[in-house]
Amino acid sequence: MRGMTKKTSSAATSAQHITVINMGCSKNLVDSERLAGQLEALGFKVDFDREPPRGSVVVVNTCGFIGDAKEESVLVLLKLAEQRRRRRIRGLYAMGCLTERYRDELREEIPELDGIYGKFDWTGIVEAIRDKGNHAATEKLPECGRKLSTPPYQAYIKISEGCNRFCAYCAIPLITGRIHSRTIDDIEAEVKALVADGVREFNIICQDLSSYGRDLPGASAEPLAELLERLAVIPGVEMIRLHYAYPADFPYGILPVMARHDNICKYLDIALQHIDDEVLTAMRRHIDAAGTRELLARIRREVPGIHLRTTMMVGFPGETDEAFRNLLDFVQEARFERLGAFTYSEEEGTYAAQHLPDTIPAEVKQERLEELLALQDEIAAEIQQQEVGRTLRVIIDAKAEDGHYFGRTEFDSPDVDYIVNVSSSETLQPGDIRQVLITGCAAYGLDGVTVS
């Protein structure tokens, strides 16, 4: 925790500057924050700037999820390698998902890297940086605290690593291995420590929420529900938001817990990917269209007012025009409050890459993506209009130059969802939570005024 990252060592008296650059998802971000916490505990100055200052040592936490993310990580590394050659920066290290899969290739292609570490051995970076000092090698590595890169009232809580699903298109299990859950006691202790440091908004993340805890010895029948019950009653926890449930084997026990506790946001991120039965079977998603519809109906029935975020994929091998029309019809029917979409890209080593030829032309994939997103734009605008006149709980993020404030409802995750433009007669601070009367809307934003 931030309270654990005070200078405890004289080893870094040179005040060496470390820049950590995080690529990819919020799960990666937690690892970057833990790395930064260990480095600061040794006395180094650490920041998360994308443009490292001259003379700093740079650590890049890479992403290897899909082609575009891998390319972005490589481009960042190449740019920094040039700075390393010119001695503008003093060191360059890489870690994370891309290095876990392509360590040898990166070592050959980017010799300027001072060290390459994977998804799980990144603590070696701390040792390498520490041991460069004349006296640091004698220092014991600190416990794994965190230096938050998020605003001080907000934190991501990673509750497990890995995935057992092996969807046909996804390389994540190949990178992270099978699921490994943290214990409830461990997570609870982390949340309590963060609350003591002023955090009040907690975004729960992992690759597969639905499988959380089932790998733990002696786990209850509903470990995720048990975890949420424990976190919801911690004093100072004001928002808990859930990310990345899997539709098959959904943990229905969480629904009454969500309905019962006001500080558990009525929000769920659950990636469905598709609705056509043949596509779902080819994707190896372990659920069909009927099961998906039953799942959504039960979630909305047991948690009134819940807002659902989902992700859809277009252009998967074998997706016919009819299958795509089925997807459009489903999105129109389900009326998701939040929806993202992307085109299929073949990932090395996956079942789809080995067995399902990628024959759908890129232009067809793009046309389908644009049509789907245009439909969602219409749905989102209608849903946002329905929010006008309601009073919603909003957390304040920043003050605008015109005196208004930017905030998010409980239905909006940081950086991915919508913004509320808030007017208030009182002075607000980032992290304040207020009741806001919604007075106007746009497709992806709201206007409102605080009410007493």
**pLDDT tier at 12 (50, 70, 90 boundaries)?**
very low
Q: What is the pLDDT of residue 2?
A: 39
CATH no., domain 391-450: 2.40.50.140
Give mean pLDDT, residues 374-380. Answer: 96
Q: In CATH, which superfamily holds the domain spanning 154-386? A: tm_1862 like domain (3.80.30.20)
Q: What is the pLDDT of residue 140?
A: 59
The domain segmentation of the chain, as residue ranges, is 2-138, 154-386, 391-450
Give mean pLDDT, residues 293-305. Answer: 98
- Predicted confidence (pLDDT) per residue in 148-202, tens digit: 999 999 999 999 999 999 999 999 999 999 999 999 999 999 999 999 999 999 9
Identify the CATH class of 2-138: alpha beta
Instruction: For residue 107, give the amino acid letter.
Output: R
SS (H, E, C) the chain: CHHHCCCCCCCCCCCCEEEEEECCCHHHHHHHHHHHHHHHHCCCEEECCCCCCCCCEEEEEECCCCHHHHHHHHHHHHHHHHHHHCCCCCEEEEEEHHHHHHHHHHHHHCCCCCEECCCCCCHHHHHHHHHCCCCHHHCCCCCCCCCCCCCCCEEEEECEECCCCCCCCCCHHHHHCCCEECCHHHHHHHHHHHHHCCCCEEEEECCCHHHCCCCCCCCCCCHHHHHHHHHHCCCCCCEEEEEEECCCCCCCCHHHHHHHCCCEEEEEEECCECCCHHHHHHHCCCCCHHHHHHHHHHHHHHCCCCEEEEEEEECCCCCCHHHHHHHHHHHHHHCCCEEEEEECCCCCCCHHHHHCCCCCCHHHHHHHHHHHHHHHHHHHHHHHHHHCCCEEEEEEEEECCCCCEEEEECCCCCCCCCEEEEECCCCCCCCCEEEEEEEEEECCEEEEEECC
Give mean pLDDT, residues 136-153. Answer: 74
Give mean pLDDT, residues 368-389. Answer: 96
**pLDDT tier at 70 (50, 70, 90 boundaries)?**
confident
Q: What is the pLDDT of residue 66?
A: 76
**Residue 9 in this model has a pLDDT that exceeds 50:** no
**Residue 349 in this model has a pLDDT that exceeds 50:** yes
pTM, rounded to two decimals: 0.92
What integer best gives the mean pLDDT of the chain?
92
Identify whether the C-beta of residue 430 lies closer than 8 Å to the C-beta of residue 398. yes
Q: What is the pLDDT of residue 69?
A: 81
**% of the chain surpassing 70 pLDDT:** 94
Q: What is the pLDDT of residue 10?
A: 37
- Predicted confidence (pLDDT) per residue in 236-247, tens digit: 999 999 999 999
Give mean pLDDT, residues 328-350. Answer: 96
Distance CA 162, CA 279 (A): 24
Identify whether the C-beta of residue 435 lies closer than 8 Å to the C-beta of residue 395. no
**pLDDT tier at 142 (50, 70, 90 boundaries)?**
low
